[in-house]
Structure 1
């Protein structure tokens, strides 16, 4: 898991840089390299944190 992904907690806002059309997402859970995020344009997605690095959005909180 990337260092950034390891720091993600429920309630934080993120973007998936490889899927910008999904829009902003809110982290639902981060357990054992599986991050569940609810994206505004894609819905709930479970991502493998070992394969993708999410961008945290600090200005949304």
Structure 2
């Protein structure tokens, strides 16, 4: 997994920088570089942490 995603934990809110139309997402799990996120607009996605750096949302 990219070190830039190492901070992710289940429950955190994130956005996908290349897919803003997916809306806000909640991290479900981070296992062996695969990040499962439930996005408001598109549902559950499993992402390769070496290919995308998710943006944390703190509001």
Q: TM-score range by the shorter chain?
A: over 0.9
TM-score scaled to structure 2, two decimals?
Answer: 0.94
Please tell me the root mean square deviation across aligned C-alpha atoms, in Å: 0.8
Q: Tell me, what secondary structure is at the counterpart of 2:11?
A: coil
Residues 21-60 of structure 1: pairs in structure 2 closer than 5 A:
21-59=21-59
How many residue pairs match? The answer is 59
TM-score normalised by L of structure 1: 0.91
Which ranges in structure 1 are unaligned for 5 or more consecutive residues?
none
